[in-house]
A and B are shown apart, each in its own frame.
Chain A
């Protein structure tokens, strides 16, 4: 049954029947708690992924690897990150599987990609809260592509380490949207710090954003944060 399903993958494409792939769904569910079965299934999926399949079939495999993928998937999927037709679905896996090799694959792809694909990789590093990416992302705050810089700011906000905060506070982007993202990211970091009872660090961020040169929206957000810090201290 599973063999038939993998055979069906070879002709799977938009408009073909999903039913023949049902045994793969069953195998994914059955792999829970069975490391051997999961490893075997992953290997078969990765072999198929490297074959001559339609884009839809490769996307399907990536959806399954999101659940059963391990570090072994990271190596194969790293090669797809630079391909604009497959980069997103490669990230579908690499953003969600906890293996450090997945984060490494994303970090290594950063200098190799540009434009939208780069923004995607940045977003996935942020979603992973990859502290090891902070240095590279900090450098992108001054990227000539404003959309890349904006994405880097948002990702640094997601990661929220001390170095991420420092980079965001030091950023002086000329693009208004990037500055908005950098400020939002700092507020995000402050909230995370306050949730961890790091009141002094959070307060410092809020106070830096409460100055008169900020927009009313930002000043109010900062003031709310300052009040939240006071409430926590009470």
Chain B
């Protein structure tokens, strides 16, 4: 090497006598620079379910300099191919690995965290399996399909010390203008809040269609009951009018859980009961369209679709202000930054899975009350309906073989 030539890192390793145990060529990307942390400081992320929301989540993580996006999984071939193309273009290589079966992705030991944006009926199985495999999880809302799933997801997260964040960037993003005055005490003691959201999920009875896309149908269905392929049954469209899986009870809690994750989540944040669950649901079906009132242990009432009442309408005691309290927020920039920051620090994220599950419980209790057309009492500590054998049957549902929680 010429005395006038500045040695490259590769040359240095070649001539310095460093043992051959030294790694292969270290790319500048791996070494990092002023704008990008070295590879050793980047969180290795992969995605499961790269449809409408999954693409959004993927882009959010991909655009983070402290993330290295290495793999993705989807049961649709074109989703896999298109998504890989986007990741590879971003990095200027072809390193992104694709999978059809999420279990193969989760078995990789180099992945630190996964984001999950499959239909809801998969969320619990995948999140729990990810925890068992040592992965942190960002799981889209609604995080659960049944009441039994929430505690099992929380247990798996705590058991393995995993950071598990639910989705819904709207809880902190959309409702802050109400949260701030509420936590400042301007509403006084909040007695009730109303949430207008829906519709309830419906049974899917769509006819069989010829499969016009390359999709692993058995794996798309997963734990849900077998049914023939229909494009609307598995469409990821955001509508809840019978033209997407969000409409149907085998895969989703309908608008109650889908948009309820945002609106109920916002309501619970405003009223500072994110750590609690309701203890009673009263079904008001005597006159006009049925509506619900859900009572919390501290006396708060969360109404659902209360007649002549606006969304997030609050009843409080403004003439009796209460002491202000600091409003919690994200630990990073936005919900994705919050998750990644918590992956680094091992703190609980803003939408920790327990809070997320508590929000979903409200929607599940609501759906059950409407389905059974009556009031229900809920024991949050025991996670059961005391003395209500029929309601307890609906706490969970049998999963199609070979899937189990």
Which A residues are closer than 8 A to B by beta carbons? 14-16, 18, 29, 32, 56, 59-60, 63, 66-67, 85, 87-89, 91-92, 94-98, 116-120, 122-124, 126-127, 147, 151, 154-155, 180, 184, 187-188, 191, 217, 220-221, 224
Contacts and interface: CB of A to CB of B under 8 A. Distances in A.
Interface of B: 132, 134, 155, 158-161, 202-203, 205-208, 225-228, 230, 372-374, 389-390, 392-394, 396-405
A180 B401 contact: no
A95 B146 CA distance: 14
Q: Which 10 residue pairs of A and B lie closest in terms of their CB atoms, listed nearest first?
A: A15-B207, A120-B401, A123-B404, A95-B398, A119-B402, A91-B398, A116-B401, A96-B393, A29-B373, A217-B134
A67 B396 contact: no
B159 A187 contact: yes
A120 B402 contact: yes
B161 to A, nearest CB: 6
B402 to A, nearest CB: 4
Contacts of B390: 32, 67
B161 A220 contact: yes
A126 B206 contact: no
A63 B394 CA distance: 11
B205 A29 contact: no
Most B CB contacts (10 A, CB to CB) among A29, A87, A122, A221 go to A221
A123 B401 contact: yes
Nearest to B207: A15
Contacts of B394: 66-67, 96
A18 B134 CA distance: 44
Most A CB contacts (10 A, CB to CB) among B134, B159, B401 go to B401
Contacts of A59: 225
A124 B404 CA distance: 8
Contact of B161 (A16, A155, A221): A221
A188 B205 CA distance: 38
A187 B132 CA distance: 11
B311 to A, nearest CB: 28
Contact of A92 (B208, B398, B403): B398
Contacts of B226: 85, 88
8 contacts: A14-B208, A14-B227, A88-B225, A89-B225, A98-B389, A154-B404, A155-B404, A221-B161
B402 A18 contact: no
A18 B203 CA distance: 9
Nearest to A84: B401
Nearest to A176: B107
B402 A151 contact: yes
Interface residues of B, dominant DSSP: loop
A15 B205 contact: yes
A16 B398 contact: no
B134 A116 contact: no
B381 to A, nearest CB: 10
Nearest to A96: B393
A60 B250 CA distance: 12
Contact of B397 (A14, A29, A96): A96
A154 B402 CA distance: 12
B132 A184 contact: yes
A151 B205 contact: no
Contact of B401 (A14, A32, A87, A155): A87
Contact of A14 (B228, B392, B398, B404): B228
A188 B404 contact: no
Given A14-B230, A15-B208, A180-B132, 10 more contacts: A60-B203, A63-B203, A85-B226, A87-B401, A91-B398, A116-B402, A120-B402, A123-B399, A123-B404, A127-B396
Contact of A32 (B225, B372, B403): B372
A60 B203 CA distance: 9
Contacts of A14: 205-208, 227-228, 230
Contacts of B230: 14
B155 A188 contact: yes
Given A221-B161, A224-B159, A224-B161, A147 B402 contact: yes
A92 B397 contact: yes
Nearest to B396: A127
B107 to A, nearest CB: 9
B389 A16 contact: no
Contact of B393 (A88, A97, A188, A217): A97
Nearest to A180: B132
Contacts of A87: 401
Nearest to A181: B132
Contact of B396 (A96, A188, A217, A221): A96
Contact of A123 (B132, B158, B372, B398): B398
A191 B373 contact: no
Nearest to B160: A221
Nearest to B233: A14
B374 A32 contact: yes
A127 B393 CA distance: 12
A35 to B, nearest CB: 12
